[in-house]
Amino acid sequence: MTQFKQVGLIGRLHSPAVIETLHRVIACLNRCECNVWVDECIAGSLDSSQLTSTSYGVGDRHFLGQQCDLVIVVGGDGSMLSAARVMATYGVPVIGINRGKLGFLTDIAPDQVEASIEAVLAGEFETSNRFMLSAHVLRNGEEIGRGSGLNDIVLHPGKSARMLAYDLSIDGTAVYFDRADGLIIATPTGSTAYALSAGGPIMHPGLHAIALVPMNPHNLSSRPLVVAADAELEILIGEDNSTQPIISCDGQVHIVCEPGDRVHIQRHEARLKVLHPLGHHFYDRCRSKLGWHARASDDGQ
């Protein structure tokens, strides 16, 4: 008997490959006698003749978070990030089927859909708990925006090509003043995303740490900095900026800032539970996704 009876489905829009995989997932859930709940954004794209589950319903993502005890995401890492910010607040575990490009978070291959889902429903899975970051933007002491990110919180100049000036403080202590194209604050989950392309360190998902990665800093001594996950960060956006900086959360939620705004960033109270097939190894994924090579062994030696 599976512990997951109420299963939600979320998928990337406008993708025939995603729709085809969703139909396979629904058929598999039908065979396992699970109740299926579909994100309203994709429900209209599904073939109604395929929806023959014992119980089938449609709702928004908050409804799925309240109703389901497992959510399956079909798409790329962006689809998983979007779903994660909601499901983490409800404590609902997620599992990802990769129909995107890199697929660090959506780690089930399309040709392994049925076998992997059946194994998870049978209790054969591994669990990783991922923390998120929260950002609050204050203007003259009043909050003007907030957001959360599983991968990262990024300060950047938007469409402008000009550098940003900012002051960084950690736990109330001034760290440095810098001019740069921006600053990436990344979780271990996000260390293999945008932060990696900016020269940041790769961190194992199990670490309780945050990476701060300046983007093309004017000060050549500015280097990526790794701090404890419970650190409280504050970014003061310089008064002399001629750009209108933006705070982006996972590249999906954007808060327009002004010179003089203060951005408070810390670990989010919610955590995301990600389920993986048995035998999942982070370093294996690094090798396959990042093109790392292992020394070939002869006769097992």
Residues serving a catalytic function are: 77
How does DSSP classify residue 287?
Answer: H
Cα 71 to Cα 64, 86, 161, 256, distances in angstroms: 8, 11, 40, 32
End-to-end CA distance of the chain: 43
Contacts of 142 (CB under 8 A, 6+ apart): none
Q: How far apart are CA 171 and CA 126, in angstroms?
A: 34
Q: How far apart are alpha carbons 15 and 97 in whole angstroms?
A: 14
Beta bridge partners of 271: 131
Torsion of CA 110, 113, 116, 122, to 10 degrees: 170
3-state secondary structure 124-173: CCEEEEEEEEEEEEEECCEEEEEEEECCEEEEECCCCCCCEEEEEEECCE
Contact 235, 167 (CB under 8 A): yes
